[in-house]
Structure 1
Amino acid sequence: MNDQVRSVRELVTDAEWQLRVDLAACYRLVALFGWDDLIFTHISARIPGPEHHFLINPYGLMFDEITASSLVKVDLHGNKLMDSPHDINPAGFTIHSAIHAAREDAQCVLHVHSANGVAVSAQEAGVQPLSQHSIFVLASLAYHDYEGVALVDDEKPRLVRDLADKRFLMLRNHGLLTVGRSVAEAFVAMYFFETTCLIQVRAMSGGAPLRRIGPAIVDGATGQWEQVTRGAGGGLAWPALRRKLDRLAPGYRD
């Protein structure tokens, strides 16, 4: 663990600690899957309770360095609510605070600049129905046009409007974003989103005619998502991912 960060285990509730461990695991897994962008992009999680307080990454740490104790607790105005030697990225705060304030179900907001995601976000047609992964994304997908680095509050209403009640948001010329009722759900959603983009980039680069999945199948994907993922990741995939991380890098629990 970073020498500057002391354990906060005894300073927070059991619910917050469990959330911190899950969120730290999510950062480590994003790095493990190669979706991170140095110290940039963010994953945030809302702390249980009536206040809109949430946890976000300490600005300056690589994703594979983040621990449960190093996560920074902030309110919707960006004020730190616990002592921390670290600041937060203002661009990350703008995007994540807007969504946490507007969506009660958005317990976790995950944003990445993955190469495949940015590539597809630059394609005029956006996500295409080319794979089984893609039908789950297309069933709950929104788009938000690029307005420059997200540093001003003026963009928040348009970001919230474009996301509406969707699970997946493609930030044009920028990257991918998912929301979830838990950290597990947001991570599994991002796995499907990024894999959809990877498959699309590879399929289009082959030069052969592409076979697209029909709209009737896409329309029926929402119910199948819950069934296949058992609560969008909380039932099977997330515990397995946590076990994998415990074998490879258990320090995220510190």
Structure 2
Amino acid sequence: MNEHQLRIDLAACFRLFARLGMHEAVANHFSAAVSPDGKRFLMNRKWQHFSTIRASDLLLLDADSPPQTAAAGAVDPTAWAIHGQLHRRAPHIRVALHLHPVYATAISTLEDPAIKPIEQNTARYFNRVAVDGNFGGMADTEDEGARLIAQLQGKSRLMMGNHGVLVTAASIGEAFDDMYTLERACQILAIAYATCQPLKVLSDEVAEKTAQDWEGIRDFSVAHFEEMKRILDREDPSYAH
């Protein structure tokens, strides 16, 4: 996919998560690799509300070249720490979304932050989410970014304990749907916990089969994103400018 289309799709992703109420004021960041080696990437600028982001607003950065002078003021240090290190150290990752959505973040604060498989949305994440339990404040150094990326341990999602969640993927459409479903799964789990009734957790066999079934329908994720973009195209196409 060329840079122009990546800009349009990433801008749509920001707009859609704002509509879904999953943004965090003017914080949080998404990035998408542009170059084959993954080191040149697009990312949102510092403190711009998701609902206003356009394709032309996205910064083009190089993971090997920290932002200097005027450009440095446009890049949030926490964003550079996480996304800069990710695109430098994991070239196979093309897209990374970091959010503090309410339900996923609530689950991240539990002593056991595992997304227990109690239905098909939660089962999508069975044994497929890495967990970081060492929150130490704002992730604003390259060392902390490198530590967080190391926590993925071959997985594509990271439950950032007492913090939020990081989702990575091969495409923006897959990342969008994954983050959407992960938050949905955490909402279902949180409501189930709130009943104070014992959870009926699916067997490992059923949970694993369900997770594999999800992995077999990546085109579903892309279709979800494309349908959501069509809604934006009808209601507010300014994101693509």
TM-score by length of 1: 0.87
Aligned pairs for 1:100-115 within 5 A: 100-115=87-102
Amino acid at match of 1:220: K
- Asked whether 1:60 is paired with 2:47, we answer yes
Q: Is the contact made by 2:34 and 2:42 (CA closer than 8 Å) also made in structure 1?
A: yes
Letter in 2 for 1:166: K
Q: Does 1:122 align with 2:117?
A: no
Shift of 1:66: 0.3
Conservation of the 8 A alpha-carbon contact between 1:140 and 1:167: yes
1:185 corresponds to which of 170, 174, 179: 174
Contact 2:38 2:93 in 1 (8 A): no
C-alpha distance after superposition, 1:31-78 (max 9, x if no partner): 011100011011111113346111111112110000000001111133
Q: Please state how far the C-alpha of 1:86 moved relative to its aligned partner.
A: 6.5
Matched, 1:33 2:33: no
Deviation by residue 1:213-235 (Cα, 9 ceiling, x = unmatched): 111122234431232342x622x
> Which residue is 1:97 aligned to?
84
Identify the residue that residue 212 of structure 1 maps to in structure 2.
Answer: 201
Q: Distance in 2 between matches of 1:32 and 1:100?
A: 27
Letter in 2 for 1:49: P
**Counterpart Cα distance in 1 of 2:8 and 2:227:** 15
Contact 1:72/1:84 (<8 A) preserved: no
Residue 182 of structure 1, CA deviation: 0.7
Q: Secondary structure at the match of 2:165?
A: strand
Deviation at 1:17, TM superposition (A): 0.5
Counterpart secondary structure, 1:137: coil
- How high is the TM-score relative to the length of structure 2? 0.91
The 5 Å alignment of 1:136-147 reads 136-145=124-133, 146-147=135-136
Contact 2:98 2:166 in 1 (8 A): yes
**Please, which moves more after superposition, 207-216 or 196-205?**
207-216
Q: Trace 1:15-34 onto structure 2 (pairs within 5 A).
A: 15-34=2-21
Structure 1 vs Structure 2 CA RMSD: 1.9
> Which residue in the other structure is 2:60 paired with?
73
Q: Is the partner of 1:211 in helix, strand or coil?
A: coil
Please say if 1:172 is aligned against 2:161.
Answer: yes
Question: What residue identity is the alignment partner of 1:26?
Answer: C
Pick from 159, 180, 200: which aligns with 2:148?
A: 159
Between 172-181 and 242-251, the greater mean CA deviation after superposition: 242-251
Overall identity of the aligned pairs, in %:
30
What are structure 2's unaligned runs of at least 5 residues?
none
- Asked if structure 2 preserves the Cα contact closer than 8 Å seen for 1:15 and 1:48, the reply is no
Contact 1:67-1:253 at 8 Å conserved across structures: yes
- Unmatched runs of 5 consecutive residues or more in structure 1: 1-13
Residue 105 of structure 1: how far off its partner (Å): 2.4
CA distance in 2, matches of 1:29, 1:206: 30
